[in-house]
Amino acid sequence: MTDSIPGSPTATDYLSDESERDLSWIAADDPIALFDAWLAAARETEPNDPNAMSVATVGADGQPDVRILLLKGLSPDGFAFYSNSESAKGRQLAEVPRAALCFHWKSLRRQVRVRGKVAPVGAEGSDAYFANRARGSRLSAWASDQSRPVEDRDELLAEMDATEARFDGEDVPRPPHWIGYRVVPDAIEFWQDGAFRLHDRILFTRTDRTSGNTGWGKTRLYP
């Protein structure tokens, strides 16, 4: 066994032509608008799920967890996603309402990291998003006891069949445990690949909200 991973990039695989790099984004002063622009660019280049993100949480036991979810809302208030509040992540967010996000777009050689408090989207917003989901996805939100043990796939499919029968010919309402979460960012860091690992890292930090100033401070970081 060696410390190297077969198939990992060699030095020649990394970006070496500085002319390939767009650095105009470094002048931005609104990180939400900048993120929106980066996400729009990723939609043009990423083959699957440009809105995919790692979501890291920690519960009262202090043990961290991370998983991939999809970003489903972006506004000046923050980054929204939806999930089962009775799942492992839901229980952790109830205990410690903070989270970290990481977006990585390999095709663009860019990454964004977000940290902040987590607040509920609210019933109205959750209802609106749930109503736009495919009927099968709405049914599975009722059928799946997310994060809890299940005997086998047959049991899961049986629960789905029972749920379909329950709502046969009816609209599927949002389960009370299926809610939206919004990460209200305290910090947003933008990273872009550079030659020989001389990357560009720009960190935006929220100014003190208690002062009535909701702007952002900006700092360049060593790569």
Q: What is the CATH number of the domain that holds 47?
A: 2.30.110.10
Tokens describing residue 90: 């839901």
Estimate the share of the chain in helix, then strand, then coil, as percent rounded to the nearest 5: 35, 30, 35
Looking at the domain assignment, is residue 161 inside a domain?
A: no
Q: Which domain holds residue 126?
A: 23-132+181-221
The three-state (H, E, C) secondary structure of 15-38, written as one string: CCCHHHCCCHHHHCCCHHHHHHHH
Least confident range from 8-12, 38-42, 157-161: namely 8-12
Confidence at residue 129, expressed as pLDDT on a 0 to 100 scale: 92
Domain count, the chain: 1
Distance between CA atoms of 142 and 164, rounded to whole angstroms?
10
Confidence at residue 72, expressed as pLDDT on a 0 to 100 scale: 97
Looking at the domain assignment, is residue 186 inside a domain?
A: yes
Looking at the domain assignment, is residue 141 inside a domain?
A: no
Write out pLDDT tens, residues 104-130.
999 999 999 999 999 999 999 999 999
**What is the arithmetic mean of pLDDT over 35-62?**
96
Given a cut of 90, is residue 43 above it in pLDDT? yes
Q: What are phi and psi of 164, to 5 degrees?
A: -60, -40
Q: Tokens 């700092």 appear where?
A: 219
Look at phi and psi of residue 169 and say left if phi exceeds 0, alpha if psi is from -120 to 50, else beta: left
> How confident is residue 4, by pLDDT bands cut at 50, 70 and 90?
low
Please tell me the pTM assigned to this model: 0.87
Tokens describing residue 92: 């952790």
Write out pLDDT tens, residues 159-218.
888 988 999 999 999 999 999 999 999 999 999 999 888 999 999 999 866 544 459 999
Looking at the domain assignment, is residue 29 inside a domain?
A: yes
Q: Is 58 helix (H, G, I), strand (E, B) or coil?
A: strand
Tokens describing residue 91: 């229980």
Confidence at residue 117, expressed as pLDDT on a 0 to 100 scale: 98
Looking at the domain assignment, is residue 72 inside a domain?
A: yes
Least confident range from 23-27, 145-149, 173-177, 196-200: namely 145-149
Confidence at residue 149, expressed as pLDDT on a 0 to 100 scale: 83
> How confident is residue 36, by pLDDT bands cut at 50, 70 and 90?
very high
Looking at the domain assignment, is residue 190 inside a domain?
A: yes
Looking at the domain assignment, is residue 77 inside a domain?
A: yes
